[in-house]
Structure 1
Amino acid sequence: MTKTASAVPRSGGTAREAPADPLRLPDADQRSLLFRLAPKSWAPFLQLARIDRPIGWWLLVLPCWQSSALASVHQGVLPHGRDLLLFLIGSIAMRGAGSTYNDIVDRGIDAKVERTRGRPLPSGRVGAPAAVVFLAVQCLIGLAVLLSFNRFAILLGLSSLGFVGIYPFMKRITSWPQAVLGAAFAWGGLMGWAAALGSLEPAPVLLYAGAIFWTIGYDTIYAMMDVKDDAIVGIGSTARFFGRRVRAGVACLYAVSIACVAAAIFAAGAGGLALAGLAGFAAHLAWQVAHLPAPAESLDEDATPALRLFRSNRDAGLILCAGLCGEAVRLALG
C-alpha cells in the first residue's frame, strides 16, 4: 500500500516508538498462519512481502474476482473457478513484489521515520541485493500465473507495470499518489473480464473506474493515520490534500465508485443479486464515511479507528463480489 499505510495503531498519549520486537511491525497481523509457522529467518522476507498484512492482497484480488464474476454474468455461465484461483495466487505474489519494490525505493525515507526504522531494509535485517533477488522471485511467480491466461490478458497484465513502476515516486511530487495506486491496484477490474473473454467492453472499463475511486477512497482513510509524519518527511497524500474536509472527500470518491460500478453492472446486462451486492457495497462504504474519525491533530492520537475502517474494505469488496457471483450462478442454473 502507500507509504502512509503503515502507521502504528496507538493508544492516546503514547509516543510513537519503533517496535521493540523486530518481528512485529506497525499494523501487522501476526495471526497469519504462514508467518507463525515459518522459520524466524524467513520473517524479514515475509515482512517485505507483507504476508503479515493480508489486507493488501485481499484488496488486490477483489477487483479481479469482481471482474471475472461480471464476465460470468455477461456470459450466463458459472464463475470461472480456475481463473479465481489463479488471480488469488497472482495477487499474493504481485502484492509482495510491489511492496518489496516500494521498500527498496523508499528505504532512505523509511530510515528517517521512527515508525519505519524497524522495517527489514532500513533496519539492516535484509540487504538491498537480497531484496532485489526476492523481488525477482515474486515477479517470476506472478509471471507464471499471467502466462496461464490468453494472449490479450497477458499483454493487458504486462501493461499495468507502468503504474506499478512509477507509484513509489509519486508521493514525492504530488498530493494524489493514491490515484496512481488506484490505477495499479484496480487493474484487476480489467483482468478478470479479459481472462474470460479475451477482450474488453464498456462494462469492465466502468468497473475498473469504480475500483480506482474505491482505492483512492480507502487509501485516503489509510493515509489519515500518518498525515503528521508525511508532513515532516515531505511526502504528499490525499489525506493531507483534503485536510479537515477529508470526510467529504472520501464520501465523494466513494459515491463516484458506486456510480461507476452500477453503470458496469447495467452495461453487462446484470440485475437481481448483482444489484443486491452493489447495495450492500454502497451501504458499507456509507457506514465507513459515517464512522470516519477526524484527522489526527498530533502524532500521539489513536490511529486504530482509521485502520479498522481501512481493513473493513475487504468485507465491502467481498459483498459486491458475492452479489456478482450469485447472479452468475442464478443465470447459469436458471
Structure 2
Amino acid sequence: MQANAPTPDTQVADAEPGNWVDRWAPAAARPYLRLSRLDRPSPALLLLFPCWWGLALAMLAGQDARWEDLWIFAGCGFGAFLMRGAGCTWNDITDRHIDGKVARTRSRPIPSGAVSVRQALVWMALQALIAFAILLTFHRAAIALGVLSLFLVTIYPFAKRFTWWPQVFLGLAFNWGALLAWAAHAGALHWPPVVLYLSGISWTLFYDTIYAHQDAEDDALIGVKSTARLFGAETVRWLKYFLALTVALMGLSIILALMPKASVLALALALVGPWAMGWHMAWQLRGFDHTDGAKMLQLFRANRDTGLIPLIFLGLALFV
C-alpha cells in the first residue's frame, strides 16, 4: 500500500471536521454511515428544504393547516435523510472507479476498500425500503410521485458522463420533494409547486456549480463533465442568472399559491423569503474564488442557511 493511500477507517477528505461519525460511531458502522454522508449531514437539508417549502406553500394556499401536516413535516425529514443516504450510496457505487482518481473522493468507503459493492447495494436497499415505508403513510398522489423520483435518483450519477449539465439532473432529483410534499397535503399537483420546483432546480444549479469547482481540474483530467468546467471563467455571470431565476420563480410560485385566499400581509411576508434568499446568494458571489477549493466548500455549505431563509418567512406567513 502506498504511504498516502487511504485505509478502511480513514476519515473522508471532505467530511466536516470532528463529525459525530468519526468521533462516536462504532468502528464497524462508520463506513456505512460515511456512504450515507452522515459524517456531513447538513447537505441533506438541501434535499429537505424543498419538501418543507412545498408543504408550507400548500398550507398557505389552502388556508387549511391540519394536524396530519406535522407527520408530513416529520416524514419528509426522515425520508430526506434516508433517501439522501440511499442516493449517495448509489452514486458511490456507480462512481467507484472515478472516485479513486480524484483527490477529494478517493478516501470514500468503496474506493478505499472499506465497503464492497455488494455490501453497499444491501445498505442502499435497506435505506430505500425504510424511506418507502414512510412514503406509504402519505396520500396516494405523493406515493406515486415518490416512486417516480426513483428514475431521477437512478440516472443522476451517469449524467456527468453524457452532458455538461449534470447539475440539472441533480436539481430534478433534489427538489422533487417540493412536488411530493404539496401533493401529500393537497392530494394533487397544481401550478404553484411546479414553479417552486423550477426555482429549486435553479438554486441547485447555483450551489452545485460552486461545489463542482473543487474538482474541476481532476474532472478535466478524467473526462467528467460539469457546469463548473463548462462555465469556467464565466461562472460568476452564470451564477447571477441562476440567482435571479431562483428568486423570480419562487416569488411567482408564492403569488400563484397565495393570491386566491391569503391575506395581503401573509403574501407580503411570504415574499420576503425569496428576496432575502437572493441577498444571501449575492453574499456568496462576493466571496467566490474558483481557485480556492476550501472557499468553494465553505460557500456550498452556506446554502443550508440559504434554503432555510424562505422557509422561515413561509412559516411566519402561516400565522397572519
Task: Give the TM-score normalised by structure 2.
Answer: 0.92
- Please state if 1:154 is matched with 2:143: yes
How far apart are the structure 2 equivalents of 1:20 and 1:225?
23
5+ residue gaps, structure 1: 1-16, 297-301
Task: Give the deviation of 1:19 after TM superposition.
Answer: 5.9
Corresponding residue to 1:60 among 47, 50, 53: 47
- Please state if 1:221 is matched with 2:207: no
Higher relative contact order (CA 8 A, sep 6+): 1
Instruction: Tell me which amino acid in the other structure corresponds to 1:282.
Output: G
The answer for the alignment partner of 1:7 in structure 2 is none
Q: How much is the aligned-residue C-alpha RMSD, in angstroms?
A: 1.6
How far apart are the structure 1 equivalents of 2:229 and 2:298?
20
The answer for the alignment partner of 1:26 in structure 2 is 13
Is the contact between residue 22 and residue 118 of structure 1 (CA under 8 Å) also seen in structure 2? no
- Please state if 1:289 is matched with 2:285: yes
Matched length: 308
How far apart are the structure 2 equivalents of 1:159 and 1:230?
30
- Please state if 1:50 is matched with 2:37: yes
Corresponding residue to 1:206 among 167, 177, 195: 195
The answer for the alignment partner of 2:164 in structure 1 is 175
The range that moved more, 309-318 or 116-125, is: 116-125
- Please state if 1:321 is matched with 2:317: no
Render the CA deviation track for 1:250-289: whole Å, top value 9, x for unaligned.
1111211111101000001151221122221111111112
1:41 match: secondary structure: coil
Corresponding residue to 1:253 among 242, 250, 255: 242
The range that moved more, 206-215 or 69-78, is: 69-78
The range that moved more, 41-50 or 76-85, is: 76-85
How far apart are the structure 2 equivalents of 1:273 and 1:285?
19
Instruction: Tell me which amino acid in the other structure corresponds to 1:125.
Output: A
- Please state if 1:41 is matched with 2:31: no
Task: Give the deviation of 1:114 after TM superposition.
Answer: 3.6
Is the contact between residue 175 and residue 197 of structure 2 (CA under 8 Å) also seen in structure 1? yes
The answer for the alignment partner of 1:121 in structure 2 is 110
1:171 match: secondary structure: helix
Following superposition of structure 1 onto structure 2, how do residues 267-286 of structure 1 map, counting pairs within 5 Å? Answer: 267-269=256-258, 271-286=267-282
5+ residue gaps, structure 2: 259-265
